[in-house]
Structure 1
Amino acid sequence: MADDTVLITGCGSGIGRETALAFRERGWNVCATDPDPDAMADLAERGCLTLELDVTEDGDATAVVERVAGEFGGIDCLFNNAGYGQIGPLEELPTDRLREQFEVNVFGQHRLLRAVLPVMRRRDGGTVVNMASVYGRTVFPGQGAYCASKWAVEAVTDTLRTEVADHGIDVVTIEPGPVETRFGERALARKEDLEPTGAYGWFYRLYDPELYDRRFIDRGVGYVQPRRVAAVVVDAATDDDPDRRYVVGPWKYPLLLGVVVPDAARDLLYGLLKRFA
Structure 2
Amino acid sequence: MQQDAIIIGGGFAGLSAAYILARARRKVTIIDSGEPRNRFAAHSHGALALDGKSGREILAEARTQLATYPTVTFVEGEADSAEGVIDDFHVRIAGQKPIAARRLLLASGMEDRLPDIPGLEERWGKTVLHCPYCHGYEIGGGPIGVLATHPMSAHQASVVADWGDVTLFTNGMPEPDDAALALLERRQVGLQAGLVSAIETGAGKMMRICLANGRDFEVRALFVGPDMHIRGSIAENFGCALEETPAGKIIATDVSKATSVAGIYAAGDIARAFGNITLASADGVMAGLGAHQSLMFAAAHS
TM bucket by the smaller chain?
0.3 to 0.5
Kindly indicate which of the two structures has a greater share of residues assigned to helix: 1
Larger radius of gyration: 2
Kindly indicate which of the two structures has a greater share of residues assigned to strand: 2
Q: TM-score, normalised by structure 2?
A: 0.37
